[in-house]
Structure 1
Amino acid sequence: MIRQAMLASSLALLAPLPAGAGQAPYAAGAPDIPVSARDRVYAAEQFSNTVSVIDPSSNSLLGVIRLGDPQPANLSPLYRGQVLVHGLGFSPDRTTLAVVSIASNAVSFIDTATNRVKHTTYVGRSPHEAFFTPDGREVWVSVRGEDYIAVLDGATYRETARIPVPNGPGMTIFSPDGRYAYVCSSFTPQTVVLDVATRAVAGRVEQASPFCPNIAAAPDGDQVWLTLKDVGKAMVFRATPPFDVLRVLDTGPITNHVNFARTAQGQFAYLTIGGLNQVKVFRTDSFEEVAAIPVGALPHGLWPSGDGTRVYVGTENGDAVTAIDTPTNKVVATIPNGQAAQALVYVPEAVPGAGAGRDGLQPLGTAASAVHLTLGAPGAEAATTVSLFDQGITQVLQAAVTGLEPGKPYALALASKPDGSGGLEPLAGFMANPAGAQIVNAVGPIRQIVDPATAPSDDRRYLVIVRIEGGKPGRAVQLQRSERP
């Protein structure tokens, strides 16, 4: 009898979901919203300081909301725009977008119908993400550079309270019923669960590492998934007391964001794996990996459509947003966007009608300008993707490095010879994380400025990764290959 009961329970877990299952961040019982021209996909882009606006019905870029200027304009003491546009959230009624800019400590609230900034709230050091409570009355901002959640009024957007949490809160997400807030940390190996009504700690979950950039609550209200970027893992814990850990998954280097899609085949977790340039898909009942989808260089944020038929993904080093068809887990569209996409959200019925919601949008301009390279060990496949984002007189270089020895020091450098020998000009030193990976950035006039009065030079420089040995640059372990298309 016990065995029969267990079998029946297992079959129930694996049974297909009914049509009309709700999508994140709403509860499973919410109605599906079919893809239409009223929907919008938004991607926050931290080097162009823009938010790309995409119509998913045609998978076309409508334009960008420009919240700030690229370098060097944003270095002026009189600069008033935003810097490092990064995090995204939206109101339950889908009329307001919340955009977090890390370096300017700002949350910009944008009217989705007009693309106009309604209000900007400045909070503490280096906020990361901001999400509305399910009732829309408050906005909780994870102030990652400090040790609290800034609570903003959902109507006036003014700060009303601060909730102490472990140092470095990376993100807050709410249970679909609004009872709990789940706060993971980027500096402390602990996620805390808060009772939203009382703001008291209801539970704690020990993280397998200190660096959690992203957390998501499943629409069925049973599970919470979080990613651990430094060790290449994802953790799953029970969404209700006792908040016990259900599974720790080895997902891959630079595991970034996680979200869910509910389809006729079940509920699935989608995770961006930056070091593999893939989105991995897992069942949430059996934790079985069912797909690994190539999507482009360094996938970061992702979100499902209102009916779960698609998942949209921002590729940080790929200058594009890709659309995945969930019934087949195949990429069906690639859409250009701004520089270094971070968070991404899909907002169903964000605008009042087809053809609306285009006011205030601007073309990509220089935000579309980038050069792409790959690096790899001699004789091996490329392991590192590199983007050089044009900022005018300077460029931002970003490398998604993988394939290194964990915990060892390295440097990204320019070599005078393609084999890494000869003179070296170090650009940035870094330590490989426990997954043998790292995100490495450098800023400067990477392109040479030629003086017309000087004789032309054929000198070239090649991007390499070198091991640091005895405090000095040693042998090259990865060499520049070629420009990616």
Structure 2
Amino acid sequence: MNFESLFVLVLTVSALAVAPPLSAGQAPVSQSEPDIPVSHRDRLYAAEQFSNTVSVVDPVDHRLLGMIRLGDPSPGNFSPLYRGQVLVHGMGFSPDHRTLAIISIGSNSVTFIDTQTNTVKHTTYVGRSPHEAFYTPDGSEVWVTVRGESHVAVLDAKTFEEKTRISVPAGPGMQIFSPDGKYGYVCSSFNPETEVISLAEHKIVGAVKQDSPFCPNIAATPDGRQVWFTLKDIGRVQVFDARPPFARIKSFETGPLTNHVNFARNAKGSFAYVTVGGLNQVKVFRTDDFSQVATIPVSSLPHGIWPSGDGSRVYVGLENADAIAAIDTLSNKVIATVSVGQAPQAIAYVPNAVTEGGGTQNLEPLGIAGQASHLTLLAPNTGQSDGKAAASTNITLFDQGLVQVLQAAVTGLQPRQPYVLALANKADGGGPLEPLAVFMTNPAGAAIVNTIGPIRQVVAPGTSAADDKRRYLVVAPQISGKPGTPVQVQAP
């Protein structure tokens, strides 16, 4: 071998030794795609259920730029002439990062938003209570799980019109695609079965048994090997092989009100991040041996989760805190929190969403969408949750102007039992109770409870005991159709 050939060989080997691998830090992008470092061109979005808005955040300095208003708060949206969206909830984005697809459950719609100008490009109305919308990897179609019916609506990504439907068992909860574009995975919120669908033929080619009927979220690893989905009613995560015959790999407990799962890759490996709403935690698991490597405390009711374009951060929507938390994936610690609109559900991190200018056109300030009150219910006579996070309930009153939407993330109760969320005249829950909502706990002894009305009262300081009209929120078992003795009372 001559010197020139040896020199070329040495250079080639050295380049192979030092060249960083393409790691695709952002799911569901394929692992073969390059990372995209965090920049001011990126945007973080949150779909907000009670303010009917989409918040827009610059992830570099974790700054809220404003919000896109898709609808009005209650009771304005009760009018028969109302034309806006209701219960803004789901979110996906196009492979070219130019379009958001936003699902509004209450108005049965998919709203397509231009990421550069923050304007609505089109609104498509689909079947009853859609839940999530995602673009196929080639960008040609948008699949919408119509959870209130029994099909996936397939929209043409150019015309935004529905072109076909794929029949599935009733209650499809969400869909995600294999990075190679061969399969769509559709979990169910009403039936204990996840369907695997061929993208090319729009036909079911496989099925995976769920441990319970209620799956709200599903995600595929960028290496194309695994699919993870959450089971909110029993607080578990399941993993199955993303390739035929789609065999079950793992099932394990995560905690009450387990919400979403997503992935991030960094120098330490590939990890799954799971939001556990009832514990106010994000749990982190390795994707190779499924060992838990971290538990990250966050604020009230973590819900949606999405990684940055390089996997260096994971962002978490905090449903009952009206905020988004940023987590550093190397340290697994919260590094920032930004206030957003009311009850963020799905979130999405879109690299290079803005190609020119500041990208702040047509955004509005938070206004009333940033107003809420936060309460905690604990076991009586303890002043604490007896050392158990599952024994507490966090409540948020989202201000709508004339009324408030109340949402309670209830945990620590008996499984599959009826309870009442009520108002009491005494701090210890004594005296007659005024029911606000009746609910049934899930198999994990938890529930999400909603009600609406003029609930919040302002009691002026210095009023006498006789004039003090203060009331207190409690949770009590329902016995023979009536509230029993409260088991959780409002904390001081």
TM-score by length of 2: 0.92
Say whether 1:438 aligns with 2:440: no
Query: Which letter does structure 2 place at the counterpart of 1:68?
Result: G
Query: Which letter does structure 2 place at the counterpart of 1:165?
Result: V
Say whether 1:145 aligns with 2:154: no
Describe the superposition over 1:58-117 as per-residue Cα deviations: whole angstroms up to 9, x where unpaired: 110000000000011101111100000000000000000000000000000000000000
8 Å contact from structure 1 (residues 18, 264) kept in 2 = no
Please, which of 183, 192, 196 is the counterpart of residue 195 of structure 2?
A: 192
User: Residue 472 of structure 1: CA displacement?
Assistant: 1.5
User: Could you say which residue in structure 2 is the equivalent of 1:66?
Assistant: 69
User: Residue 449 of structure 1: CA displacement?
Assistant: 9.0
What SS does the aligned partner of 1:366 have? Answer: helix
**Equivalence map 1:306-321=2 (5 Å):** 306-321=309-324
What SS does the aligned partner of 1:475 have? Answer: coil
- Distance in 2, matches of 1:234 and 1:368, equals 32
User: Residue 448 of structure 1: CA displacement?
Assistant: 4.5
User: Could you say which residue in structure 1 is the equivalent of 2:407?
Assistant: 398
Residues 404 and 75 (structure 1 numbering): CA distance in 2 closer, same or farther, change over 3 Å?
A: same
**Equivalence map 1:442-457=2 (5 Å):** 442-448=451-457, 457=467
User: Could you say which residue in structure 2 is the equivalent of 1:158?
Assistant: 161
User: Residue 447 of structure 1: CA displacement?
Assistant: 2.8
**Equivalence map 1:78-477=2 (5 Å):** 78-353=81-356, 355-378=357-380, 379=382, 380-381=384-385, 383-448=392-457, 457-477=467-487
User: Could you say which residue in structure 1 is the equivalent of 2:10?
Assistant: none
Describe the superposition over 1:278-314 as per-residue Cα deviations: whole angstroms up to 9, x where unpaired: 1100000000000110111000001000000000110
8 Å contact from structure 1 (residues 167, 185) kept in 2 = yes
User: Could you say which residue in structure 2 is the equivalent of 1:13?
Assistant: none
Q: Percent identity?
A: 66
- Distance in 1, matches of 2:458 and 2:349, equals 42
What SS does the aligned partner of 1:367 have? Answer: helix
8 Å contact from structure 2 (residues 39, 60) kept in 1 = yes
- Distance in 1, matches of 2:280 and 2:458, equals 33
What SS does the aligned partner of 2:484 have? Answer: strand
Unaligned runs of 5+ in 1: 1-16
8 Å contact from structure 2 (residues 45, 348) kept in 1 = yes
User: Residue 20 of structure 1: CA displacement?
Assistant: 2.8
Residues 179 and 447 (structure 1 numbering): CA distance in 2 closer, same or farther, change over 3 Å?
A: same
Describe the superposition over 1:200-257 as per-residue Cα deviations: whole angstroms up to 9, x where unpaired: 1111001000000000000000000000000000000000011111000100000000
8 Å contact from structure 2 (residues 284, 294) kept in 1 = yes
What SS does the aligned partner of 1:476 have? Answer: coil
What SS does the aligned partner of 1:275 have? Answer: helix
Query: Which letter does structure 2 place at the counterpart of 1:412?
Result: L
- Distance in 2, matches of 1:165 and 1:20, equals 36
8 Å contact from structure 2 (residues 457, 470) kept in 1 = no
TM-score by length of 1: 0.93
Figure out how many residues of one structure are paired with residues of the other and give that number: 461
How well do the aligned residues superpose, as a CA RMSD in angstroms? 1.4
User: Residue 459 of structure 1: CA displacement?
Assistant: 1.9
Query: Which letter does structure 2 place at the counterpart of 1:478?
Result: Q
- Distance in 2, matches of 1:75 and 1:273, equals 32
Please, which of 41, 47, 50 is the counterpart of residue 47 of structure 1?
A: 50
- Distance in 1, matches of 2:467 and 2:403, equals 21
8 Å contact from structure 2 (residues 397, 456) kept in 1 = no
- Distance in 2, matches of 1:448 and 1:60, equals 32
Query: Which letter does structure 2 place at the counterpart of 1:141?
Result: V
What SS does the aligned partner of 1:360 have? Answer: coil
User: Residue 18 of structure 1: CA displacement?
Assistant: 5.7
8 Å contact from structure 1 (residues 19, 264) kept in 2 = no
- Distance in 1, matches of 2:457 and 2:323, equals 27
8 Å contact from structure 2 (residues 369, 399) kept in 1 = yes
8 Å contact from structure 1 (residues 19, 263) kept in 2 = no
Query: Which letter does structure 2 place at the counterpart of 1:159?
Result: E
Query: Which letter does structure 2 place at the counterpart of 1:41?
Result: L
User: Residue 142 of structure 1: CA displacement?
Assistant: 0.3
Unaligned runs of 5+ in 2: 1-18, 386-390
User: Residue 470 of structure 1: CA displacement?
Assistant: 2.2
* Higher deviation after alignment, 194-203 or 118-127: 194-203
Query: Which letter does structure 2 place at the counterpart of 1:410?
Result: Y
- Distance in 2, matches of 1:264 and 1:306, equals 15
- Distance in 2, matches of 1:288 and 1:312, equals 21
User: Residue 196 of structure 1: CA displacement?
Assistant: 0.6
Query: Which letter does structure 1 place at the counterpart of 2:490?
Result: Q
Describe the superposition over 1:392-443 as per-residue Cα deviations: whole angstroms up to 9, x where unpaired: 1100000000000111110100001111110110000111111110000010
Runs of 4+ in 1 over 2 A off after TM superposition: 17-20, 447-450
- Distance in 1, matches of 2:205 and 2:225, equals 16
8 Å contact from structure 1 (residues 100, 106) kept in 2 = yes
Query: Which letter does structure 2 place at the counterpart of 1:465?
Result: V
